[in-house]
Amino acid sequence: MSAELRAADLALMHEPNYAQLVTLNADGDPQVSIVWIDAKGGHVLVNTAEGRRKDRNMRRDPRVAVLVARNGDAYRWVAVEGRVVDRLTGPHAESHIDALSRKYDGRPWTPVEGQVRVLYRIHPDRIVRYGG
């Protein structure tokens, strides 16, 4: 199955709105994290550090869900169910976290010694929208 992100979905993801990322633990239980979000080329983009629980979960099981709500408006949101289709480290992941830091914090990303950044591309399989 496949679904397409609409312009209104992209607007929510390109604005500094926080998202909830749901991954699956090894025992099948859901795990949720607040994340910075982005989208490009029809994919939802999430950036994390190697070794974090969401990174371990997505490496093991690519099924995820992401919900992005407009800041301060619980009646305007998009939920994406999908699967990880790409995992990138190195310059792509580092430039992406820098762009996210500038979007959310208004300043460049400060690298953490020994931390490996990971950029995940998520293909939307199902999209549910409210208020848009």
Q: What is the pLDDT of residues 19-78, one digit of tens each?
A: 999 999 999 999 999 999 999 999 999 999 999 999 999 999 999 999 999 998 989 999
pTM, two decimal places: 0.95
Query: Token pair of 56, please?
Result: 């371990």
For the domain bounded by 7-130, which CATH number is listed? Answer: 2.30.110.10
Contacting residues for 77 by C-beta, under 8 A, at least 6 apart: 12, 67, 68, 69, 70, 129, 130, 131, 132
SS3 for 50? coil
